[in-house]
């Protein structure tokens, strides 16, 4: 049976960015030279009607970020097979299905992992309409800053928190306070999040020349309304920027943080292959100018 098409234009602002990341994952999954597979993302992109060309040319940053999360999450669940996964600002991420539906522990033949999807009500509504129902996946229509979700996971079972493409849209004090609350509530847990550098954050907050951000292949041009991926799409303001060095200092700044790791995305195609460009991006003078992925481990 042909599924009904759903209008993605009902989402706007930050909520609409889940369509941007969905498009990039789906296109990379279809690419014949890619090692990233996300067939559910491909299906969702076909079902959700939207002018995806607004996001400019497809880019590998989002699928490689997703692959890095898959690796970190698998490693944590290997150590904590009955943990709770909390996906903050999950959007249309399909991590649960890429991992093979980890709410069922096939070794034990019984449910194991609980999965909490936290996002704004319009996004949760879209997820419910397009994603397969899963009894161990609970949707929470709320802001990630609404601390009510903190009461749901059992800290004793282990908790892994993901915040893909979320923190940059929040205020700095809110992000740091949220990390501190997670560290206090979930000893032994982990938090995975990505960041943009402060210079790029500032670019999104003011008008001026439009350049090509380090995660976009859109052509350069000029515009007077912030950072644009195309003539028809402006990136929402991103007030929170964090360098690799600043992320490392969370270890001494936030009580309960036991370790901070700069996560390298897996190799991709073209410029994303292992080579000179990737080595340059990790030189001390340059690494604070690039986007980054951080894995925080809480003490306990």
Domains held by the chain: number: 1
Write out the chain in H/E/C secondary structure: CCCCCEEHHHCCHHHHHHHHHHHHHHHHHHCCCCCCCCHHHHHHHHHEECCHHHHCCCCCHHHHHHHHHHHHHHHHHHHCCCCEEEEECCCCCCHHHHCCCCCEECCCCEECCEEEEEECHHHHHHHHHHCCCCCCEEEEECCCCCHHHHHCCCHHHCEEEEECCCHHHCCHHHHHHHHHHHHHHCCCCEEEEEECCHHHHHHHHCCCEECCCCCCCCCCEECCCCCEEECCEECCCCCCCCCHHHHHCHHHHCCCEEEEEEECCCCCCHHHCCCHHHHHCCCCCCHHHCCEEEEEEECC
Residue range of the domain that includes 122: 6-201+232-298
CATH of the domain at 273: 3.40.50.150
- 27 within a domain of the structure (yes/no): yes
pLDDT digits (tens, 9 = 90+) for 30-73: 999 999 999 999 999 999 999 999 999 999 999 999 999 999 99
pLDDT digits (tens, 9 = 90+) for 194-217: 999 999 999 999 754 334 443 333
- 211 within a domain of the structure (yes/no): no
- 279 within a domain of the structure (yes/no): yes
- 267 within a domain of the structure (yes/no): yes
142: pLDDT strictly greater than 90: yes
- 218 within a domain of the structure (yes/no): no
Give the global pTM: 0.90
């Amino acid at each position: 049976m042909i599924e009904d098409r759903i209008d993605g234009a009902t989402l706007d602002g930050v909520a609409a960015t889940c369509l941007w990341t969905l498009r990039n994952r789906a296109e990379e999954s279809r690419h014949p030279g890619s090692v990233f597979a996300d067939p559910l993302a491909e299906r969702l992109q076909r079902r959700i009607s939207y002018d995806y060309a607004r996001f400019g040319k497809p880019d590998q940053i989002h699928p490689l970020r997703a692959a890095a999360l898959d690796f970190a999450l698998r490693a944590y669940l290997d150590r904590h097979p009955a943990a709770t996964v909390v996906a903050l600002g999950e959007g249309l991420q399909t991590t649960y299905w890429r991992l093979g539906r980890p709410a069922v522990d096939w070794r034990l033949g019984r449910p194991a992992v609980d999965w909490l999807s936290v996002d704004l009500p319009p996004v949760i509504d879209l997820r419910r309409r397009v994603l397969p129902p899963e009894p161990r996946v609970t949707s929470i229509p709320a802001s990630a800053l609404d601390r009510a979700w903190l009461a749901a996971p059992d800290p004793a079972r282990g908790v892994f928190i993901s915040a893909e493409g979320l923190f940059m849209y929040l205020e700095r004090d809110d992000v740091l306070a949220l990390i501190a609350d997670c560290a206090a509530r979930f000893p032994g847990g982990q938090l995975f999040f990505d960041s943009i550098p402060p210079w790029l954050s500032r670019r999104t907050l003011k008008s001026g020349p439009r350049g090509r951000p380090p995660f976009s292949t859109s052509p350069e041009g000029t515009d007077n309304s912030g950072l644009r991926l195309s003539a028809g799409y402006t990136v929402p303001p991103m007030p929170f920027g964090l360098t690799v060095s600043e992320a490392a200092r969370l270890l001494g700044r936030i009580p309960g943080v036991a370790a901070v790791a700069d996560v390298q995305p897996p190799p991709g195609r073209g410029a994303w292959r292992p080579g000179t460009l990737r080595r340059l991006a990790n030189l001390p003078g340059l690494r604070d100018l690039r986007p980054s992925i951080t894995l925080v481990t809480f003490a306990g």
